[in-house]
Structure 1
Amino acid sequence: MRQIPEQTDYGFIHGHTKAPDVAAHAKDPRAKRAVIEALAVAELVRAFGLCERLAREN
């Protein structure tokens, strides 16, 4: 996954990864769900860290 620039004035950011597609080709919907959940958790952790950093700066 490519890094998002540390700029905070974006209204929306779209990210794409092929990991769910790879899991889907295995014909295992549980594997695809697990990949999507892992990506969502990772993004929430990153976003929370960004929010904490912004709070410290202000």
Structure 2
Amino acid sequence: MAEIVNLRQAKKQAARKAARSAADANAAKFGRTKGERELEKARAEKAAAHLDAHRRETD
């Protein structure tokens, strides 16, 4: 005999699985770790400070 399946639950489970796979794909495509974001921010701040340090004063 075949197993009885609740179609409503099966549809919800399939939708969750599809959403999870889409989220994983987006995370791999766009996501960065917190450490990577902080490192990029620190590098940008250092570059801006370096540029400001070499700016000429005009009065």
Higher relative contact order, chain-length normalized (CA < 8 Å, sep 6+): 1
- Structure with the higher fraction of residues in helix conformation: 2
On whether the aligned pair clears a TM of 0.5, the verdict is no
Larger Rg: 2
Using the size of structure 2 for normalisation, the TM-score is 0.44
Using the size of structure 1 for normalisation, the TM-score is 0.44
